[in-house]
Amino acid sequence: MNEYLVRPGQKVDLGKVNPDDVHLVPGGKAEAKKENAATQARLGELQERLFAGHSRKVLIVLQGMDTSGKDGTIAHVMGGFNPQGTRVVPFGVPSKEELDHDYLWRVHHQVPASGQIVVFNRSHYEDVLVVRVHELVPKAVWKKRYDQIKAFEQMLSDEGTLILKFFLHISKEEQRARLEARIEDPKKRWKFQHGDLEERKLWDEYQRAYEDALSKTSTETAPWYIVPANQKWYRNYVVGSVVVDALEGLHLTYPKVDLSGIVVK
């Protein structure tokens, strides 16, 4: 999956990344579904070891344009996690209390504790994306946040947190199709908001904001992956594969328990 990795210092041009790419799965959707089933089972086992060991922490960040599939990724890739050791945190518009603090305050409250996996559905990156595009703070303010975010993530990594960040990359045409599907399907209509259309008008501005965020904040300890996400099954395959490989790299084991002298009557 390294071809989707944004290397430190790499300049990202999303126009050169094909959101329809599916070349790593020659067998197509059927093959990917089989792989995903095996991936979920393996993720469940690895998460149990993480929870039992109670030493490492895992933070998974999902970002993307509206309809890019953040909820779907959580359901289809992380659905096998035991809720006892997993939390999903959605970041929406900050509350009044959150606005009274620095922008990372609400984020730091939600990072994983030992043994936990936490999935951010949107994240602290909104403060260099939405905030930038809508000019909610001066440019001089949000420009400093790239380095602040890197320092924050480095601190989390130094304290034992594995950080994986995924940008779910869809095309503008695919977003249009998904928005139309929300309107036409009564089961999906509840997801549609009129604000989605207003945000869509700012597509180019968001693309530039994402390119800067991906370029400036992908590090060895907190890497970004640009995931081709027009095909949902391929998106799930890529994200699942990256997470499994990363957890395998932690060499997680169950803790040793001294049972000497214990008698069950």
3-class DSSP assignment, residue 207: helix
pLDDT in tens, 49-60: 999 999 999 999
Strand 5-6 to 224-228 pairing: antiparallel
Half-sphere exposure of 180 (CA within 13 A, CB side): 6
pLDDT in tens, 25-47: 999 999 999 999 999 999 999 99
In 122-232 the beta strands, taken as DSSP E runs, fall at: 161-169, 224-228
Predicted confidence at residue 50, as pLDDT, reads: 97
Provide the 8-state DSSP code for 122: S
Predicted confidence at residue 133, as pLDDT, reads: 97
Fold of 2-248: Rossmann fold (3.40.50)
pLDDT in tens, 109-137: 999 999 999 999 999 999 999 999 999 99
Question: How far is it, in rounded angstroms, from Cα 57 to Cα 255?
Answer: 15
Domain assignments of the chain as residue spans, ordered by start: 2-248
